[in-house]
Amino acid sequence: HSFELYLKKGKKGNCSALLEEYKKYCITIGTRISVRSGKKIISGRALGINQSGHIIIKENNNLVEIIDGTLLK
């Protein structure tokens, strides 16, 4: 599929196809990462990306949804 096709679907409110395609190529999923979100640093394994586009990290047996942050490693 072309990016333009996904973009058209996204503009119509159907972002699930774009999100699934993005997940196929995301090298962060499954790796250990640290993210600075505000003044807090969250470290753990990146489990995936939810339907809102937020990354989910498992930190100390807790699932943390990162809405906004900077990837540190």
- Give the number of C-alpha atoms closer than 13 A to the C-alpha of residue 6, restricted to the C-beta side: 11
Phi, psi of 2 (to 5 degrees): -95, 155
Per-residue pLDDT reduced to its tens digit, 29-51: 999 999 999 999 999 999 998 88
The pLDDT of residue 10 is: 57
Tokens of 61: 């047996």
User: What's the pTM value of the predicted model, to 2 decimals?
Assistant: 0.72
pLDDT of residue 11 exceeding 60? no
